[in-house]
Structure 1
C-alpha cells in the first residue's frame, strides 16, 4: 500500500498553501519510463485530480496518482526533505 510520511504530508500542505490551492488540492505524481532505465518521477501541486487519478488521503493531505503510477508505487513510501534554502525534495522509498 502506498503510504505518505508525516514529513511528506507537511511539505504538501505547505506547498498547497503557498500556491493558494483549494481544499481539494494536493500533489499529483506521475512516473514515466522503465525502472531499469531510471524512471522519472514528476510532481506538481494541483487544485484537483486528473480524470482517472487515484486519490490517496493521509495526514490531512492528498496525493493524486495516475493509475499506472499507483500500480508501480503500490508498496512504496513517499517522504520529503527540506533543504537549507527551504526547497522540498520528494523521495520514493521501499518500506524498511
Structure 2
C-alpha cells in the first residue's frame, strides 16, 4: 500500500479540507508513466483509501494501486515555487 510522508500529508490537507480527499490515478501515454492527482469528494468503487498522518485521505485508483505498492508519496517544490507530488521508493 502507498505510504504518505508528513510533507505530503500537510499538502493534502489544505486543498482537500472539507472536500473528501486526494484521488490518485495512473496515466501511461506514449511510454511515459505518471500519476494523476485530483481533489475528489469521495473514493470511487474499488479505490484503496489511505489515511494520511494528518487525517487527510488519499484515494488510490485501481489502475494506480499496483504501481504504487511499496512507494512513498512525497511533495517537492519546483523551480517556480509550486509544490508537486512525487512518488519515491520506500527506504
Q: TM-score, normalization: structure 2?
A: 0.84
Deviation at 1:11, TM superposition (A): 0.2
User: Where does 1:1-96 land on structure 2 (aligned, <5 Å)?
Assistant: 1-17=1-17, 20-21=18-19, 25-33=20-28, 37-59=31-53, 60-82=55-77, 87-96=82-91
Residue-pair matches, total: 90
Query: What RMSD over aligned residues (CA atoms) do the two structures have, in Å?
Result: 2.2
- Structure 2: runs of 5 or more not aligned: none
Q: Retained in 1: the 8 A contact 2:16–2:56?
A: no
Deviation at 1:90, TM superposition (A): 0.2
Which has the larger share of strand? Answer: 2
Q: TM-score, normalization: structure 1?
A: 0.80
- Structure 1: runs of 5 or more not aligned: none
